[in-house]
Amino acid sequence: KFMPEDIQEKIHNHPCYSEGAHHHYARIHVAVAPACNIQCNYCNRKYDCSNESRPGVTSERLSPEESAKKVMFVGGEVQRLSVLGIAGPGDALANPEKTFKTFELVREKAPDLKLCLSTNGLELPKFVDEMVKYDIDHVTVTINSVDTTGEIGSQIYPWIFYNNKRYYGKEAAQILLERQLEGMKKCVENGILIKANSVLIPGINDKHLPEVAKKLKEIGVFLHNIMPIISEPEYGTKFALDGIPSATDQEQMEVQEACGMDMKLMQHCRQCRADAVGLIGEDRGQEFTKDTFANMT
């Protein structure tokens, strides 16, 4: 499978998308987005968003100003830093002031850095214009179901908080799905590349994921990544308490195949922490605590 040239051009130095780039280019995440606007049954709010980050890790929270300082400091320490991503610890777009303030500050100082965010998609339609303004050309959306009845989604998301109101059950799942689809379409129309993540939850959406993959292709999502749910009891997530098992490597491979995924592209994908630093697979997040860059001006 070959990617169209314009997409290749955009991702050639993006470590998360390009198999060739991930040994050479580094990315940084800043943990500037603490709040979340939905509840996932595989999440434990004490830790980072399990959409993009391994559950069970807590990142040091930063303000936009601290985040910008950190990015500039790390840019001097880590070779070939090419991407800044905001991936939690909650949802990047549930904290829009913090997320976009960070992008604004970093844009001024490091105009060549690629900007990226990851989101559950609930607020995506609202912020596509803002994303275009900051020249964000990649977004990661976690989408676990495309079932319009809300039946599957309601087993994954007990509630969402939308337009100042809390919605529950199937209605919540339906609103989330509508917003995700609308947001992703709008991104495609505006030339923003979308990677989608789906969490493989045995017994709940495993059989359904090929349908998700099909829908994503229709919309024009350029990469789809299946992530195994991690359901160790110590994470205390709803699914872990309910006894939903972690997905095995075998199950994951089977579902990936059923979804027709391009394995070569996604094999190097790791679930990165909200404060990850460095090459993918090499985690230097712990090295750069607030004290290390406190004196930067």
Sites of contact with ligand SF4 (CB under 6 A): 16, 27, 29, 36, 38-40, 43, 49-52, 83, 85, 87, 90-91, 116, 118, 120, 140, 195, 272
Matching residue, tokens 């609202």: 126
In the complex with ligand SF4, the residue whose CB is nearer, 13 or 254, is 13
Considering the complex, what minimum distance in angstroms separates the CB of residue 290 from ligand SF4? 20
Bridge partners of 85, per DSSP, are 29, 116
Considering the complex, what minimum distance in angstroms separates the CB of residue 17 from ligand SF4? 7
Greatest C-alpha distance within the chain:
53
* CB-facing half-sphere around the CA of 196: CA atoms within 13 A: 30
In the complex with ligand SF4, the residue whose CB is nearer, 118 or 205, is 118
Considering the complex, what minimum distance in angstroms separates the CB of residue 191 from ligand SF4? 17
Considering the complex, what minimum distance in angstroms separates the CB of residue 192 from ligand SF4? 12
In the complex with ligand SF4, the residue whose CB is nearer, 110 or 254, is 110
Residue 132 burial (CB < 10 Å; 0-12/13-18/19+)?
middle
In the complex with ligand SF4, the residue whose CB is nearer, 240 or 272, is 272
In the complex with ligand SF4, the residue whose CB is nearer, 52 or 206, is 52
In the complex with ligand SF4, the residue whose CB is nearer, 58 or 254, is 58
Considering the complex, what minimum distance in angstroms separates the CB of residue 297 from ligand SF4? 26
Tell me the three state secondary structure of residue 60: coil
Considering the complex, what minimum distance in angstroms separates the CB of residue 100 from ligand SF4? 15
> What single string gives the DSSP state of each residue in 62-91?
--HHHHHHHHHHHHHHSTTEEEEEE--BS-
Q: Which alpha helices (H) appear in the chain, and where do they start and end?
A: 5-11, 64-77, 96-109, 124-133, 151-156, 169-189, 209-219, 238-241, 249-258, 263-266, 290-293
Name the DSSP class of 163: T
Tell me the three state secondary structure of residue 266: helix
The answer to whether residues 38 and 3 touch, using CB atoms and an 8 Å cutoff, is no
